[in-house]
Amino acid sequence: MDDELRKKLIELLKDKRLLEVIKHLRKANVDYGKSIILNTKIPIQEVVELLDQLEMLGLIERVHGATVKNTEARFKLSKEVHKHHTYYTLTREGDHLLRHLNEEELIRAYIDLVKNDQFALNILKIANEVKIDHALTYTKLTHRRLEEVTP
């Protein structure tokens, strides 16, 4: 994976919901916000913000045109529908990122993400020592609020 895609992957890992949305779009090929909400269980306002973030990163784009065919939108049941929503699809770069995403790339990106974050490294050290990976345990051990421990 090239450096530019790795930087975008690190941005996705900062909020796992971003990764959920682009994975959903890969399955659906073309989809709109409300359908993404139903499939990912992410609240509407958050999905709107996530779609904007992904669009700014260049990983998704809006679909142009007046109609969407079910050959494009895999989750659509009817043959062709008039668009009443804003539909999104992966860009070539977004598809490329997902195609090359494997466990090894994820681990490397997570390492890049936390290697300069002393607080994250401390939490990982505690997790390794106590063999517990529950956020509330971390809050007690680090004497921090839950909002500070979880992204």
Considering the entire predicted model, what is its pTM?
A: 0.72
Spatial distance between the Cα atoms of 117 and 100, rounded to a whole number of angstroms: 26
Of 47, 46, 82, the closest CA to residue 67 belongs to: 82
CA distances from 61 to 19, 31, 42, 44, 54 (A): 15, 11, 20, 18, 8
Tens digits of per-residue pLDDT, 48-77?
999 999 999 999 999 887 666 655 665 655
Instruction: Tell me the β-bridge partners of 31.
Output: 88
CATH of domain 3-101: 1.10.10.10
- CATH 1.10.10.10 range(s) for the chain read 3-101
Of 113, 90, 75, 85, the closest CA to residue 21 belongs to: 90
Tens digits of per-residue pLDDT, 8-59?
998 998 898 999 999 999 998 888 899 899 999 999 999 999 999 999 999 9
Spatial distance between the Cα atoms of 39 and 36, rounded to a whole number of angstroms: 5
